[in-house]
Amino acid sequence: MMIGQYNYNLDPKKRLTIPTKFRGDLNDGAVLTKGVDGCLFLYPKKQWEDLAEKISSQPYITQSNVRSISREIIAQATDVNLDSLGRILIPDYLKEHGHLDKKIVVVGLYNRAEIWDEEEWKKYNENNETKMKEITEGLKELGI
């Protein structure tokens, strides 16, 4: 399970250290892809396969949203492996999508991690703080 928030620096070779607590979930391989809201998603291989299967089982030809999510999430994905120091390499196209500079925040969201540029993460949280009452009220509908 991946939870928590961790700050790291992206090194000049575009390698990012993954939190020690997350590494066990990623030992069997991982997939890095475009996320939403300006971040990247990092999935353990098993969770990635489950997600890709759900997306791929939808009627691709007749649903434009399925085609779009397939192209954005699946086609933009790349396999990543942790090196001996627990780092992954972030390809240029994903670095650009996430607007990743030097300071990075890795956020655990149970079955995946999100990788954010530190300034983008701060902006996202500032915007969300004003909406939290509304957001939490909406959770009642989900039985949470």
Give Cα 48 distance to the centre of its chain.
11
Give a yes or no: residue 97 inside a domain: yes
Separation CA 89–CA 41 (nearest Å): 14
The predicted pLDDT at position 144 comes to: 66
φ, ψ for residue 8, nearest 5 deg:
-140, 170
Give a yes or no: residue 125 inside a domain: no
Residue 20 belongs to what domain range? 2-118
- Domain count for the chain, please give it: 1
Which CATH number belongs to the domain containing residue 45 in this structure?
3.40.1550.20
Give a yes or no: residue 123 inside a domain: no
Please give the chain's pLDDT, 144 residues, in tens. Answer: 899 999 999 999 999 999 999 999 998 999 999 999 999 999 999 999 998 888 777 776 667 887 888 888 888 899 999 999 999 999 999 999 999 999 999 999 999 999 999 999 999 998 887 777 777 777 777 666
In angstroms, what is the C-alpha Rg of the chain? 16
Give a yes or no: residue 19 inside a domain: yes
* Of 94, 116, 113, 106, residue with least CA distance to 44: 113
Give a yes or no: residue 90 inside a domain: yes
Give a yes or no: residue 136 inside a domain: no
Give a yes or no: residue 95 inside a domain: yes
The predicted pLDDT at position 105 comes to: 98
Pair 127, 120: CB distance under 8 Å? no
